[in-house]
Structures are given as structure tokens and as C-alpha cells.
Amino acid sequence: MIELDLTTRLASLKLKNPVITASGTCGYGEELKEYLDPDIPGAITVKGLTIKPSVGNPAPRITETPAGILNSIGLENPGLEEFLATKLSVIGKLNVPVLVNISGHSLDDFAFLAEKLAPYPQIAGLEVNVSCPNLAGGGMAFGTDSELVYRVAYRVKENYPGPVIIKLTPNVTDIVEMAEAAVAGGADIISLINTLLAMAIDIDDKRPLLGNTFGGLSGPAIKPVALRMVYQVASRVKIPIIGMGGIMTGRDAIEFILAGASAVAVGTATLIDPGAVARIIEEIKEYMIEKEIKRIKDLIGQAL
């Protein structure tokens, strides 16, 4: 039996394996503990945080599609004050790096959150969400303008000493332009992709099905798009990439790693099977044994 090394690096972060929980799909880590030991993932990304609490968008906020789901949650979250008062102690008990996803309506919002979260060692890094399709006056509006991507990255880096991940949206013509803007702004890591802007219509009511009309499509339907974008970005930028978008199996994860991702994030799969992350890690190991690969790092970017 070969000794497997699943460790990977994301800038200054060392992960024991390359599978991260995607933001918004595992709460604050402990909600899933009945199904997924929170010490198993390589890292945990918590739900997107805004300065003020948010109740999110009107229902219905989630619907199934033939090969994925549509969500228009609208960043429901307790807000910074409540997060610091009640959630920080929860994530402080976890034994894996915890990444906090932050969102805002202005550059100052991002800078403010970065500054307020900087003192807490319980937080291993920030994932900066410039890609939420469900936020009026923020979110994706930043991620579709390379000048704004640059400025958000710059302002967060100015205020936060730890690793900064910029999470990109696929709803752009040129994903490489956005990735390069993030790098120019000082990003340490890029994560991609967030969801694809989409919709569904209720043909009985003759109305958009989601309360917010549009939502973000995730799941297996978007995997080929996500993989293409990871490949394009990895071909051009030198900082580490977290690949995500429709990863359901270990073999899907391996595709992203071969395309240049140093780690992957799993989201929709967890909504179907809350233990998916553990299964995917085992499936990655099976592939490595089958192909006699000792170190996962040796696979990064092999398809480029």
C-alpha cells in the first residue's frame, strides 16, 4: 500500500487535503457534524458575511433543475456583530482552517469587514465574494468590472494581513482579465467559479419561479464551464486557485486539479449528500492508488 500525501498549499495556508467546503453549504462547520466530521475537510468556508444582518431574498429561493440547482438566497446571514458574538467561538473549536466569505455593497464595506476580522486568529483567511448574483448593488456587480475587482482586492489586502482569496463570477466575457485584476490588486489566491446567472419559470403561474426572478445555477450542469475557466486562469496567473463548480465525485475533483487548481471546493454535492466531502476525499485517494500517485501536488496543472 503506498503512503499518500494529500497535503496542498494555498499561499501561506497548508491544507491536509485539497477538498474545501464551499461557502453557504455547510453553515459554520458544526451544523453538518452528524453527517460530516468537521475535521475531515481540508478547510471550511463559512456563509457569506455582510456588515449588517440580512434576511435574504423573498421565497422561493431554491429550485431544482435537471442537472443542478438554482438559488437566490441573497446572502442571508447574521451580520458582523452577531458573527463575532456567537459564530467566532464555534469556528474557533474547529481543527481545520476556516475561511470567512465576505460580501459588500461598496469598496468601503469590503475594507471595513477586512479590518474588523483581521484581529481574529480563529479565521485562517478571507474569501472575498465579488460574484454573488443575488445581491442588488453589490456582489457580482464588482466581479464583472476588472477595475473594481482590482480595487476590492487592493482595499481588502490593505486591511487584512492574512491570505486573501478573490472569488470570481463566471458571468463575464473574459475570466482571465478578472483574475489578472485580482492578482494586480494583491490577491493571494483565486477561487472560481461562483454560480451562473439563470432562471426558471413556473408555467402554471406563468411567472418566474424564484422570488427574486433570477438566481445562480450550480451543480453538474456548470462543471464543464468551471473547468474551462480554471484551466484558462491557471494558464495565465501564478497564484494558487481553488476550483469549484459542479464537483460531485473524486474524479471531478481530479479534473480540476489537473486543470491547475491547488484545491477544490464542494457545494451543491453537500446539499444532496451532507457527507459528500468525506466521500470525495476517499475517491481522490482511490484514484491516486489506482494511478500510483503518491503526492496530490504532483497532479496540479498536469493537463495544462
Element (H, E) at 244: strand 241-244
Size of the site for ligand SIN (CB under 6 A): 14
**Per-position DSSP letters for 275-295, written without gaps between them:** THHHHHHHHHHHHHHHHT--B
The answer to whether 6 and 284 have CB atoms below 8 angstroms apart is yes
Q: Which is nearer to ligand SIN, 197 or 303 (CB)?
A: 197
Least CB distance to ligand SIN at residue 75 (A)? 4
For ligand SIN, the binding residue among 50, 195, 262, 270 (CB under 6 A) is 195
The answer to whether 58 and 209 have CB atoms below 8 angstroms apart is no
Least CB distance to ligand SIN at residue 108 (A)? 20
What x-and-dash track marks residues 6-45 binding ligand SIN by CB under 6 A?
A: ------------------x---------------------
Find cell 491544507 and name the residue.
Answer: 15
Q: Counting contacts by CB under 6 A, is residue 171 touching ligand SIN?
A: no
Q: Residue 21: which of 189, 264, 281, 286 has the closest Cα?
A: 264
Least CB distance to ligand SIN at residue 15 (A)? 22
**Per-position DSSP letters for 126-137, written without gaps between them:** EEEE---TT-TT
Least CB distance to ligand SIN at residue 237 (A)? 21
Q: Which is nearer to ligand SIN, 17 or 129 (CB)?
A: 129
Q: Counting contacts by CB under 6 A, is residue 219 touching ligand SIN?
A: no
Q: Counting contacts by CB under 6 A, is residue 194 touching ligand SIN?
A: yes
DSSP-derived 3-state class of residue 97: coil
For ligand SIN, the binding residue among 125, 163, 185, 216 (CB under 6 A) is 216
Distance CA 64, CA 262 (A): 30
Residue ranges in the chain assigned as alpha helix (H):
79-82, 88-92, 107-117, 140-143, 146-159, 175-184, 223-236, 250-258, 268-272, 276-291
Q: Which is nearer to ligand SIN, 42 or 215 (CB)?
A: 215
Q: Counting contacts by CB under 6 A, is residue 239 touching ligand SIN?
A: no
For ligand SIN, the binding residue among 20, 114, 123, 132 (CB under 6 A) is 132
Candidate ranges 71-79, 86-94, 181-189, 229-237; the one touching ligand SIN (CB under 6 A): 71-79
Q: Residue 108: which of 151, 146, 150 has the closest Cα?
A: 151
Candidate ranges 5-13, 69-77, 156-164, 170-178; the one touching ligand SIN (CB under 6 A): 69-77
Please tell me what DSSP assigns to residue 54. B
Q: Looking at residues 85 to 114 of the shown chain, list those that interact with ligand SIN (rule: CB under 6 A).
A: none
Q: Which is nearer to ligand SIN, 102 or 288 (CB)?
A: 102
For ligand SIN, the binding residue among 26, 32, 44, 73 (CB under 6 A) is 73
Candidate ranges 82-90, 124-132, 153-161, 286-294; the one touching ligand SIN (CB under 6 A): 124-132
Which residues participate in catalysis according to the annotation?
Answer: 132
Least CB distance to ligand SIN at residue 169 (A)? 8
Distance CA 34, CA 36 (A): 6
The answer to whether 152 and 187 have CB atoms below 8 angstroms apart is no
Q: Residue 247: which of 271, 279, 269 has the closest Cα?
A: 269
Distance CA 277, CA 213 (A): 31
Instruction: Kindly state the cell numbers that stand for 217.
Output: 445555477
Q: Counting contacts by CB under 6 A, is residue 129 touching ligand SIN?
A: yes
Find cell 460530516 and name the residue.
Answer: 36
